[in-house]
């Protein structure tokens, strides 16, 4: 997300090289990354960095490439207040999932990424104002044209996901294979109204539909698991703070000590150990240090007993 803006291109491409050299294959970006970094941006900086890297290295065929559309704001400068995004205003001005916008957005992403196809293309933010039939028929045409291999949905409620799947089955359109939501070790507070964070109902839905992969964004909640002081006043904790979070963090600390790792690393490892649903946790490092700190999570092997304790922890 940050490549080409707050992460300079030299650092970004060094990360990409190290990631692939270590065996990484999955890259996730979006056409709107990251318009909020500075005035005058129209988004697309991350895709452009990836495109130049593909062209220079010839490594496009080594990765499964995901990008997204429908959440680009029409006039970014109008929703920046004192240099920071006003997300409420931004949500009201997303370009949406209309057929013409989807076709245009895919072509623009292909150009920036310097590739002839996208492996996984997400509706970035579920668009309630556009008929699902219009969106799904357009996506089906894009897949049929060979521009996209698979589709996904992000920031979506479970009832909408079921309706999407019903329409795809009814019309023979390609159905989503991936759902990208905010998901971590901490559990969201009961009663929270939030379309983007996995709740119990959505988790159960994904567990009973094994043709859907859960792609978890913000899995370490901006790194709060390693820093009690950071947790105390971090905005990410607003959706999680409480006795349940405290109990799970305590157990997480015990397991981290046992395996000789950080809390953030254990959370990533715990997510990668999940099989129902199967989960791909995304990391979004801003610096090489953050990348190098996250990578050891791949090699952490949690025992069945440790996984049971982590799962059972809570108030």
Q: Give the separation between CA 205 and CA 123, rounded to whole angstroms.
A: 19
Catalytic residue among 19, 33, 185, 217: 33
88 phi-psi bin (left φ>0, alpha ψ -120 to 50, beta other): alpha
Helix (H, G, I), strand (E, B), or coil: what is residue 45? helix
Tokens of 228: 């009690």
Instruction: Please report which helix (H) or strand (E) contains residue 121, including its range.
Output: strand 118-123
Strand-pair category, 118-123 with 84-85: unpaired
Establish whether 185 is a catalytic residue: no
Q: Give the separation between CA 205 and CA 153, rounded to whole angstroms.
A: 14
Tokens of 238: 């607003």
Q: What DSSP assignment string belongs to 151-172?
A: EEEES--HHHHHHHHHHHHHHT
Q: Give the separation between CA 139 and CA 11, rounded to whole angstroms.
A: 34
Largest CA distance in the chain: 54
Q: List, by residue number, the catalytic residues.
A: 33
């Amino acid at each position: 997300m940050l490549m080409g803006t707050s992460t300079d291109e030299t650092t970004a491409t060094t990360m990409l090289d190290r990631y692939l050299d270590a065996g990484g294959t999955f890259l996730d970006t979006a056409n709107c990354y990251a318009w909020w970094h500075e005035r005058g941006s129209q988004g697309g900086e991350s895709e452009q960095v990836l495109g130049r890297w593909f062209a220079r290295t010839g490594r496009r065929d080594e990765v499964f490439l995901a990008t997204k559309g429908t959440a680009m704001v029409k006039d970014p400068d109008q929703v920046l207040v004192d240099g920071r995004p006003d997300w409420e205003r931004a949500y009201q001005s997303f370009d949406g999932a209309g057929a013409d916008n989807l076709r245009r957005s895919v072509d623009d992403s292909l150009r920036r990424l310097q590739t002839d196809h996208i492996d996984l293309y997400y509706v970035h933010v579920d668009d309630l104002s556009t008929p699902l039939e219009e969106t799904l028929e357009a996506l089906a045409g894009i897949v049929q044209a060979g521009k996209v291999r698979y589709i996904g949905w992000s920031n979506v409620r479970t009832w909408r996901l079921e309706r999407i799947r019903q329409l795809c089955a009814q019309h023979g359109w390609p159905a989503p294979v991936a759902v990208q939501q905010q998901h971590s070790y901490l559990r969201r507070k009961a009663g929270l109204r939030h379309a983007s964070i996995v709740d119990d109902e959505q988790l159960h839905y994904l567990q009973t539909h094994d043709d859907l992969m859960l792609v978890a964004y913000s899995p370490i909640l901006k790194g709060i698991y390693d820093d009690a002081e950071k947790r105390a006043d971090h905005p990410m904790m607003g959706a999680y703070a409480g006795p349940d979070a405290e109990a799970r963090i305590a157990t997480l600390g015990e397991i981290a000590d046992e395996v000789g790792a950080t809390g953030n690393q254990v959370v990533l490892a715990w997510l990668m150990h999940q099989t129902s649903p199967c989960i791909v946790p995304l990391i979004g490092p801003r610096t090489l240090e953050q990348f190098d700190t996250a990578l050891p999570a791949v090699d952490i092997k949690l025992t069945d007993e440790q996984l049971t304790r982590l799962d059972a922890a809570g108030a």
